[in-house]
Chain A
Amino acid sequence: MSAAQRKLTRMIKDATQAGQSADSPRSGQFAVAALRHVTKRFPGIVALDHVSLEFHAGEIHVLLGENGAGKSTLVSLLAGMQQPDEGEILIGGAPAVIDSPRRSMDLGIGAVFQHILLVPSLTVIENLMLGGSWLRPLGRAATLRRFEELSSLLGTRIDPDARVSGLSLGEQQQVEIMRALWRDEKLLLLDEPTSMLTPQGVADLGRMMRRLKDKGVALILITHKLLEAYEFGDRISVLRLGTLAGDIDPQRLQTMSEAQRTESVIRMMFGAAPGVDATPEQGHEEELAILLGRKLPRANTVDRNKPATLAARALATAPDFAETPLHEVSFELWAGEVLGIAGVDGNGQKHLAEVLAGQRSLRQGRIDLAGSDITQGRVPERRQRGVRYVTDDRLGEGTVGTFSVATNLVLKEIGAPPYWRRGITDWELIHRSARETILRNDIRTPSERTPVGKLSGGNIQKVLLARELDAEANVAILNKPTYGLDLHNQRLALDRIVAAAARGVALIVISTDLDELLEISDRIGVMFQGRLAGIVDNGDGAGNKVRRLMTGAAAT
């Protein structure tokens, strides 16, 4: 055991003890909900291992942890979708059996999940009228009354007769929260509520959470994002491999600086916890260093005196179902450069990526790659010339979930040598080179024949990044490359991007996470209503300029 690890273990022990002391019931007041030594096993793994936690009224309790740490299991226990194998759940001080989602609601627990669960073709009020008993007539007036009450409680302004499909994701989530609070629920579960939201949406959500907190609701906020945890959380608990790795109570949280918080959270999330067999993976220390160091070393190697690698001139697309088309988008991109594309989701980013990849046809405009016109080239021709596209829809279009990792790695090469000769497949070669790619990119999969859909999100993204950021890549477009990944895999994905830039690949990184773009980009372009509202050189004050452009204000 190295000195660093010993220190780590000690820190975690301290943190765990702090967590346990916060565990004991406060005098004269029961927690809204509490877990007592709850264990939940699934075949092969222990999802939760003797976890004890308390959720208090008027407190935003943040649960942090990597994918697979047990956060979702915890939520599903409280939401009535699973039952604990051992231990008990107390609601208002009394043991409760939550054996169905309905029972969970009856006990005053409301839940909002990561994905929107509304009927898009119905109006807001119609969605809220669903879920009553079968035979009771739908009471519009009563529903509307409650809707108004909740609107003023939450401080939201949504038209009750608007169709859900026409609302922004943030507004849809507000409707979900209303539904979760419909019966005056005292405990609100929010499972990664910010992952789909714009910065504005996150701010609105934060305001809403504080109002609820002031009304005495206990909130459980699950997130991957540390900054959100500090911003909104009164208490932070960290889960790791099914155990409670540590806990920062409100008093301590207030006295810590942001750096201290980050340090202690990261240690809890990734360090070897006591009682867990400490088998650090290779490069573990370096990973920790990267995570703690936050900033990636980014040497500026862009030479803008050379001709641009990619030049887009006045790109325009035809409108498609519920998608914003492009208007007059022009920019240049040089080798080794990272051009970040910021903007609220749905402002034409998808069309931009697809047009550059050759997947969508242009109505107007011209695209040049290394000085020659590729406007007419389709995906295979552009790929041949080194254009790569990492889609944000990893399982929807990026991969074929039922096909093996090996097949997915060559999905965009079908018919091309060396894997195909005169149209005949060389499976031997495909599998062999897949095994190499899997090793080189640290893709965690039982075998190259495993269906890619069985891998975790982070590993699916590794497959995509391996396929797209290969040695022959010249230009790569990445759409939300860290979306839905846990902290560790986000870091790995950003690493790969920066490494590709260092190799001389020209990169376009589309993201709604501005912090991430500020970290890795040379320049940041902002999409607004299908136009490129402006391109900002990354540097001091770039963040504010970008934020201003995102709202549609003219570039200054």
Chain B
Amino acid sequence: MTTESEIGAGPQATMLRVLIPVALALLVGGLILLALGKNPLDYYGYVMQRSLLRWGGFQETLTRMAPLLLIAAGLIVAFRAGIWNLGGDGQFLLAAVTSAALAPVLIGLIPRGLTLVVCMIVGIGVGALWSLIPAMLKARYGVNEIITTLMMSFLGTSLANVLIKLVLRDPDTTVPQTRSLPVDGRLPRLFDTTIHCGLVLAILAVILVHLMMTRTAFGLKLQVLGANRAAAIHAGLRVERLTIVAFALSAGLIGLAGAVEVLGVWGTVRADWNPAFGLLVVPLVFLARFNGYAVIGFTLFFSALMVGGESAARRVGVPQHYVLVLVALLLLFLALVEYLDQSRRKRIAA
């Protein structure tokens, strides 16, 4: 079943609108590498090999997908409801820190499964809580949430840092970080791999969010709110309540991403740790046009770039952040193709 925003485009056209920008981005990215005197085929080859072809690298890529997918799920909820939650980093990090601090304490008191569940719920709660101020300001007074969520994000990352250094610090380490959750206390691995079960959770979350948005009354209400707030009021939707709920859901999922990343991979949070996934995922969600299934594909592509890009950059000798250049190119071409497509359609329609 189609959703509102997809109506009017066949699957092939949609694929082309995505694949053309990807191909162009890789091409122009390659030209830039050439200009730097590097061999682009080497670079792309290393990326592929490191992140997809080698078993260990592939597992790393899939593991990286877990938090990205959960954040994407959170952003889809918000963006479809017309809420620009750009405070993902603060929500993510605060949830990560609280669950990281809580887990080593709980693991001594209650069983591992329960510990993990409690920590994840706390992560959701902390994320949601951190969105409450922007949510209420938006709902009550119409304050622009782009500003407020970004501000809350700066506050959140700083607060996370302060919490580790002043309150939650592990006294046994020299580097300020929370106490470590032992490896056998972390999220269970899938079969014989190093991939933790957070990935399954994340894929489920994305699919559930997608189904919620496209097939339920609640999802349609959020979409109406996102597409035309005045129409939502006119139709008698409880706009204030919907706004706050959408915010809480979005930030809660992002908080869950923080908890999952800590409970599944790191077991601890260092004071200077901030992967800044929140803002990285925003373009992916746009690329996927808020479609849950498409997001899974893009996240895989992007995780591979991230995981492979780090070592490939080292091997080929370009800056590590070259991956971001590729993402930027991708967005640029996506917008361009979108624009050309729109004007072509307008010409046909006129």
B237 at the interface (CB under 8 A from A): yes
Interface centre among B5, B216, B219, B220 (most CB of A within 10 A): B220
- B227 CB within 8 Å of chain A: yes
Q: Nearest A residue to B1 by beta-carbon distance? A: A427
Quick one: which of A430-472 are within 8 Å of B by CB? 449-451, 454
Contact A380 B347 (CB under 8 A): no
- Nearest B residue to A358, CB-CB: B236
A404 partner residues in chain B, CB cutoff 8 A = 4, 7
**A181 proximity list for chain B (CB < 8 A):** none
Q: Which residues of B contact A396 (CB under 8 A)?
A: 228, 230-231
Min CB gap A376→B, angstroms: 13
- Of B5, B224, B348, chain A has the most CB atoms within 10 Å of the CB of B224
A437 to B5, CA, bound (A): 23
Contact A393 B230 (CB under 8 A): yes
Residues on the A chain within 8 Å of B347, using CB? 43
B218 and A423 form a contact (CB under 8 A): yes
B224's partner among A358, A398, A411 (CB-CB below 8 A) is A411
CA A403 to CA B1, docked complex, whole Å: 15
CA distance A423 to B4 in the complex (A): 17
Question: CB-CB contacts of A408-429 with B at 8 A, as 1s and 0s?
Answer: 0001101100001001110100
Within the complex, what minimum Cβ distance (angstroms) separates B81 from chain A? 13
From A401, A414, A451, B220 is in contact (CB under 8 Å) with: A414
Q: Which residue in A389, A391, A425 is a CB contact (below 8 Å) of B216?
A: A425
Interface residue ranges of B235-266 to A (CB < 8 Å): 235-237
On chain B, the residues within 8 Å of A402 by CB distance are 4-5, 227
Write the chain B residue with the least CB distance to A407: B4
Q: Across the interface, do A391 and B234 meet the contact criterion of CB distance under 8 Å?
A: yes
A400 touching B217 in the complex, CB below 8 Å, given contacts A359-B236, A411-B231, A411-B235: no
Q: Which residues of B contact A400 (CB under 8 A)?
A: 4, 224, 227-228, 231
Q: Is A231 an interface residue (CB 8 A)?
A: no
Q: Does A383 contact B (CB under 8 A)?
A: yes
Would you call A275 an interface residue if the criterion is a C-beta within 8 Å of the partner chain's C-beta atoms? no
Residues of B within 8 A of A359 (CB): 233-234, 236
Q: Indicate if the CB atoms of B350 and A398 lie closer than 8 Å.
A: no
Task: Tell me which residues across on chain B come within 8 A of A424, comparing CB atoms.
Answer: 215-217
A412 to B2, CA, bound (A): 20
A134 on the B face (CB < 8 A): no
Closest approach, in angstroms, between the C-beta of B319 and any C-beta of chain A? Answer: 41
Q: CB distance B217 to A414 under 8 Å?
A: yes
A383–B237 Cα gap in the complex (Å)? Answer: 12
Q: What CA separation (Å) do A170 and B220 show in the bound complex?
A: 40
Write out the residue numbers on chain B whose beta carbons fall within 8 Å of the beta carbon of A389: 234
Also in contact, A423 and B216, with CB within 8 A (given A43-B348, A397-B231, A401-B228):
yes
List A residues 106-154 near B (Cβ within 8 Å). none
A451 and B215 form a contact (CB under 8 A) = no
B236 touches A383 (CB 8 A): yes
| B-chain residues with CB within 8 Å of residue A449 when the two chains form the complex | 2, 7-8
* Complexed CA–CA distance, A44 and B224 (Å): 33
Would you call A398 and B231 a contact (CB within 8 A)?
yes
Whether the Cβ atoms of B8 and A380 lie closer than 8 Å is no
Residue in B8, B224, B236 whose CB lies within 8 Å of A379: B236
Give, as a whole number of angstroms, the nearest-CB distance from A85 to chain B. Answer: 14
Q: Which of B218, B231, B237 contacts A399 (CB 8 A)?
A: B231
Give complex CA distance A43, B224 in Å: 33
A478-518 vs B, Cβ < 8 Å mask (1 yes, 0 no): 00000000000000000000000000000000000000000
Interface membership of A37, Cβ < 8 A: no
A412 to B235, CA, bound (A): 5
* Residues on B with beta carbons closer than 8 Å to the beta carbon of A42: 350
Q: Which of B7, B221, B227, B349 contacts A414 (CB 8 A)?
A: B221
Q: Which residue of B lies closest to A454 (CB)?
A: B349
CB distance from B171 to the nearest CB of A (A): 50
Which residue of chain A lies nearest to B220 when distances are taken between CB atoms in the complex? A414
User: With the chains together, A443 CA to B5 CA distance in Å?
Assistant: 22
Contact B230 A397 (CB under 8 A): yes
Complex Cα distance, B10 from A157, in Å, reads 58
Interchain CB contact under 8 A, B4 and A397: no
Asked if B4 contacts A425 (CB within 8 A), the reply is no
Please tell me which one of the listed residues A43, A44, A397, A403 contacts residue B233 in the complex, with CB atoms under 8 A apart. A397
> Are B235 and A451 in touch, CB under 8 angstroms?
no
The residue of chain A having its C-beta at the shortest distance from the C-beta of B234 within the complex is A397
From A379, A391, A414, A423, name the one whose CB has the most chain B CB atoms within 10 angstroms.
A414
- Which of B215, B236, B348, B350 gathers most chain A CB within 10 Å? B236
* A414 and B4 contacting across the interface, CB-CB below 8 Å: no
Residue of B nearest to A402 (CB): B227
Does A415 contact B4, Cβ atoms closer than 8 Å?
A: no
Alpha-carbon separation in the docked complex, A420 to B220 (Å): 11
A398 to B230, CA, bound (A): 8
How far is it, in angstroms, between the C-alpha of A449 and the C-alpha of B4 when the chains are bound?
A: 9
User: For B350, what are the chain A residues with a Cβ–Cβ distance below 8 Å?
Assistant: 42-44
Q: Does A378 contact B (CB under 8 A)?
A: yes
Contact B237 A414 (CB under 8 A): yes
Contacts of B217 in A (CB 8 A): 414-415, 420, 423-425
A451 touching B231 in the complex, CB below 8 Å, given contacts A43-B347, A424-B215, A425-B220: no
Could you mark each residue 186-226 of chain B with 1 if its beta carbon is under 8 Å from any beta carbon of chain A, else 0?
00000000000000000000000000001111111101100
Taking the closest CB of chain A, its distance from the CB of B259, in whole angstroms, is: 28
Residues on A with beta carbons closer than 8 Å to the beta carbon of B224:
400, 403, 411, 414
Give A38-78 interface residues, CB cut-off 8 Å to B.
Answer: 42-44
Closest to A47 in B: B350
Provide the residues of chain A in CB contact with B7, threshold 8 Å.
Answer: 404, 449, 451
6 smallest A-B Cβ distances: which pairs? A379-B236, A415-B217, A397-B230, A397-B234, A400-B228, A380-B236
Tell me the A residues contacting B by CB distance below 8 Å: 42-44, 358-359, 378-380, 383, 389, 391, 393, 396-404, 407, 411-412, 414-415, 420, 423-425, 427, 449-451, 454
Q: What are 12 pairs between A and B in contact, CB < 8 Å?
A: A358-B236, A359-B233, A389-B234, A398-B231, A401-B227, A404-B7, A412-B236, A414-B221, A425-B216, A427-B215, A451-B7, A451-B8
